[in-house]
Amino acid sequence: MITVSNLTFGYKKGRPLFENLSLYLEEGHIYGLLGKNGAGKSTLLKNLAGLVFPQEGELDVNGHNPSQRRPSFLSQLFFIPEELFMPAITVRGYVKNTAHFYPQFDREQFENILLEFNVPADQVMSRLSFGQQKKVMIAFGLASNTSLLIMDEPTNGLDIPSKVQFRKIIASALTEDRCIIISTHQVRDLDSLIDQVIVLHEREILLNKSLDEISDKLLFLTSSEANGRNVVYAEENMIGTNTIAENLYQKFSRVDMELLFNAIINNHKPLTEILNR
């Protein structure tokens, strides 16, 4: 589906944002691309979408070189950027002018998602609130039914009820032949949605594992539950201490995404050593 091989990219000569970065992604998964602000998440996504071009290395997306921007590539990719610039036409007008570029676009699906988001289709897009604009583009991206859907910080501008709707709608849209990539620095927004975690930090992919792989190798516990266990990371909060321990006895615990992310970017070697065994 997506193969990134030894990617080197930077906006300024001699100052690479990525250097020899490699990554492999498959269809049938919802990937969460996590990283701090400025980690390069948006830039990596733009490389995948062919909006910027690598200085070195190779990118293969659905058998295409993204930088060539061929129609056969673009018709199977929908990219929702963090910042939106909406045209001064109605939502229905946007669909009429744009949907034909996507052979699998489903108008009924689009209208149903708009209804769930409570966005009127007769409104001028440029006059909608930022959150409503995001909902329109999320609905359009899902209804395009492209094999690759990329969303950069899609929950920015959404209120809490809308984030719940977002998780529900995205989860229902995944198929075996579709790959969805969602980048965010708001880690909890992806709870119970993604099945694969990618952590980008300081020019490196520090983690690319499924939640099943993570829960097989790690236990997420309170401090009282962690007594006698091999604790590799601990973090205090207002009600106590949360810990990550090595899962030596095939126990199950729910992956705490925020705790995992903090552990990876603060002290990744003990965790990555366990996860890569």
At 118, which helix (H) or strand (E)? none
Sorting pLDDT into bands at 50, 70 and 90, what band is 87?
very high
Say if 224 falls within a structural domain.
Answer: yes
pLDDT digits (tens, 9 = 90+) for 218-236: 999 887 777 767 888 988 8
Residue 51: domain span: 2-87+145-202
Separation between Cα atoms, residue 18 and residue 197, nearest integer Å: 19
Residue 151 and residue 239 in one domain: no
Residue 161 and residue 246 in one domain: no
Say if 259 falls within a structural domain.
Answer: yes
In the chain, the number of structural domains is 2
Residue 168 and residue 268 in one domain: no
* Mean pLDDT score across all residues of the chain: 91
Residue 236 and residue 192 in one domain: no
Kind of pairing, strands 231-237 and 240-246? antiparallel
Residue 178 and residue 60 in one domain: yes
Separation between Cα atoms, residue 151 and residue 30, nearest integer Å: 11
Asked whether the beta carbons of 231 and 243 are under 8 A apart, the reply is yes
Give pairs for 103-106: CB < 8 Å, separation 24+: 103/75, 104/144, 104/145, 104/146, 105/143, 105/144, 105/145, 106/143, 106/145
Assign residue 150 the CATH number of its domain. 3.40.50.300
Last residue of a domain, one of 157, 183, 202: 202
Q: Does the structure show a pLDDT above 80 at 79? A: yes
Say if 134 falls within a structural domain.
Answer: no
Q: Which amino acid is at 120?
A: P
Residue 78 and residue 42 in one domain: yes
Residue 241 and residue 258 in one domain: yes
